[in-house]
Amino acid sequence: MREKIEQLLLKTQKPSRYIGGEHGSIIKDKSKVNVRFAFCFPDVYDVGMSHLGMKILYGLKNSVPNYWCERVFMPEKDFEKLMRENNIPLYALESLDPLTEFDFIGFTLQYELSYTNVLAMLDLAGIPVKAKDRKNLTPIVIGGGPCVCNPEPLADFFDLFVLGEGEEVNLELMKLYETMKPNNPTKQEFLKEAAKIEGIYVPSFYDVDYNDDGTVKSISSNTDTAPAKIKKRIIKDFDKVYYPDGFVVPFTSIVHDRAVVEVLRGCIRGCRFCQAGFVYRPFREKNIDTIKDEVRCICEQTGYEEVSLSSLSTSDYTEINQLLENLVEYTDKERINLSLPSLRIDNFSEELLEKIKSVRKSGLTFAPEAGTQKLRNVINKNVTEDEIMTTCKMAFEGGYANVKLYFMLGLPEETMEDIEGIAKLAQDVVNLYYDTPKEKRGKGIQVSISTATFVPKPFTPFEFEPQATPEEISQKQKHLLDSITSKKIRCSYHQQNVSILEAVLARGDRRLCDVIYTAWKKGCTLDSWDEHFRYDLWQEAFGECGVDTRFYANRRRSYDEVMPWSHLDYMVSHEFLVRENKKAHNAETTRNCKEGCSGCGVKKECGGVYCG
């Protein structure tokens, strides 16, 4: 097998992605291992290796001596072709063993456009893609990650899903398997036991009925061990949660090629479009000492020269200044760059800017998301124009000259005035640059506007909202371009068809399983790559399966409609989402968690800093 793989490597791009052997990768003696887990990231190595969740769960599972977790990625099309031509099944990078030899095959579902890759990877491993066709106990195909908050479009392909945070439940599941395995249980017997674990959802244990109008009528458990509602898992003591003491360090450069330490989980903000802001609640932090130790440990083990503090909004860390002071002391001494992604405009202090600058100066990126204050209130992005301007002024005086602004088109309550607001805001930033004294400012102002089409997501206050139709979006894009007059402003937008597909899959039900299957059969894989995305094939698939994209994407859903994910409990209450949706339509904002609890439904016991 290894020989066969090696002879193909030189015929492919960046071969080191397909052979493993990186520093930090974990090799175990198979004879001393009794549970084998293949952790699959359904995209190429360069993307998957950047994913923090995989690093955490890889380290966690391997910390148990008799469990062995290995990595698997989707090959690029060139290598997939070579593998198929030479009968090489998809294999894991550590042992180079095919996936059929594993007990668990676990996929992390990070974005909708990776769904066809799941099917492609199973098939490339010679494993039936549909759960009902996999009769044996192993491999057990499981899924986790944010998309699992509505896994219904993938229900046919998985044996079970893991809801919420994986650090505890993954080991519980593996332990259960380890205990049951000697008795040779059937798959059904194992799944029945697994369903008792909090956070485990076995889709085949639930029946879905539909109304005549196509909406879901009811979702009910058909198995005594499967609870009516499945609750997501939360790590209550986040400071004590497992964190790896090492990463696998890739040879080839990947998207995020640096050490990463997670400083907080959850977000206090409650921006109404943002799924992460709701499904990762509550807001929990690690202590400064914990973070310091983890930074030092990861940097020493990997040899990286850059460390990034990861979270949904790092500047919301309660003691951000003390934290940075502590860290800069270490990183300066070791000549390590400290990078802080996800900073918010409103609490971006001069002091903070100074700290980042002393390390490295790149461009600044802001996400006002909407062009006018009214619309920012609608989406609860509580950032004012003044704040944007103050921060940009500081940035320009500090020598920055590259500003990126992110916006969304097609938000609820959006008018053409809001679109003009985007152009105006960008123009104001350009003007501000020219008002900055010449000796202070950097050279060559460039403001880039990047617009994405709004995709309504489950478990957000906008889960009821229709997505703007392609016609509306095209009109708005054109209007935006017409409103921009300066050559210093560059404007780009996402492919429209991608957003439609995301909208359909994000809020879809089990009837989409056939569509995904058909699209994959027609050759759709690596859909998140522009060069591979084939919307024409997707359209054919929708047509053949008799599924109307508008039903899923462009229809307003009533507050009492049974959502395809209504049997899943992500703790944020339905009442709260309805309340927030109504406030959105009145352009009323909601305070953030730090300012006071708004009663989203997440219980105090879950360990949130500001809960209750």
Partner 1 sequence: MADFPIPKNQSLNIQRYDYRLTYGKTGRARYISHLDLMRTMQRAFKRAKIPIWYTQGFNPHAYLNFPLALSLGTDSKIEVLDVALIEELEFDEIVTRLNACMPEGLYIYNAAKPVNKHTEIALAEYEIRFDCNVSPEEAKQRFEHFVQRDKIEIEKRSKKKGVNLVDIKPHIKEVSVNVENNMTVINVILPAGCEFNLNTSAVMGAFCSLESIEIKNIYTTRTKIMCKNCEDFI
Contacts of 373 (CB under 8 A, 6+ apart): 384, 385
Query: What gap in Å lies between CA 39 and CA 374, rounded to an integer?
Result: 44
Give the residue with the Cβ less far from partner 1, 87 or 558. Answer: 87
Scanning 358-469, the segments in alpha helix (DSSP H) are: 373-378, 385-397, 416-435
Query: What gap in Å lies between CA 228 and CA 219, rounded to an integer?
Result: 9
Give the residue with the Cβ less far from partner 1, 214 or 399. Answer: 399
Give the residue with the Cβ less far from partner 1, 88 or 171. Answer: 88
Shortest Å, Cβ 333 to partner 1: 7
Shortest Å, Cβ 336 to partner 1: 9
Shortest Å, Cβ 178 to partner 1: 29
Amino acid identity of residue 371, one-letter, is G
Shortest Å, Cβ 335 to partner 1: 6
Query: What gap in Å lies between CA 413 and CA 573, rounded to an integer?
Result: 24
| Residue 419: strand, helix, or coil | helix
Shortest Å, Cβ 350 to partner 1: 18
Give the residue with the Cβ less far from partner 1, 198 or 306. Answer: 306
Query: What gap in Å lies between CA 383 and CA 246, rounded to an integer?
Result: 38
Scanning 466-573, the segments in alpha helix (DSSP H) are: 470-483, 496-506, 512-521, 535-545, 549-553
Shortest Å, Cβ 303 to partner 1: 3
Give the residue with the Cβ less far from partner 1, 155 or 299. Answer: 299
CA 511, 90, 199, 205 torsion-angle sign: positive
Cβ(531)–Cβ(505) below 8 Å: no
Amino acid identity of residue 4, one-letter, is K
Query: What gap in Å lies between CA 187 and CA 177, rounded to an integer?
Result: 11
Give the residue with the Cβ less far from partner 1, 16 or 211. Answer: 16
- Residue 215 has phi, psi (to 5 degrees) of -80, 165
Which residues of the shown chain bind partner 1 in the complex (CB under 8 A)? 3, 7, 9-10, 14-16, 19-23, 249, 251-253, 300-305, 332-333, 335, 358-362, 399
Give the residue with the Cβ less far from partner 1, 41 or 400. Answer: 400
The string of DSSP codes covering 556-588 is PPPTTSB-TTTTEE-SS-HHHHHHHHHHHHTT-
CA dihedral 81, 86, 90, 95 (to 10 degrees): -140
Shortest Å, Cβ 97 to partner 1: 15
* Residue 328: closest CA among 316, 318, 337, 317: 337
Longest CA–CA separation in the chain, Å: 77
Shortest Å, Cβ 22 to partner 1: 6
Residue 342 neighbours by CB distance under 10 Å: 16
Size (the chain), residues = 612
Query: What gap in Å lies between CA 115 and CA 506, rounded to an integer?
Result: 11
Give the residue with the Cβ less far from partner 1, 15 or 227. Answer: 15
Give the residue with the Cβ less far from partner 1, 302 or 590. Answer: 302
Contacts of 201 (CB under 8 A, 6+ apart): 148, 151, 160, 161, 162, 163, 195, 230, 568
Shortest Å, Cβ 301 to partner 1: 7
Cβ(533)–Cβ(495) below 8 Å: yes
Shortest Å, Cβ 79 to partner 1: 12
Give the residue with the Cβ less far from partner 1, 253 or 586. Answer: 253
Give the residue with the Cβ less far from partner 1, 359 or 587. Answer: 359
Give the residue with the Cβ less far from partner 1, 289 or 332. Answer: 332
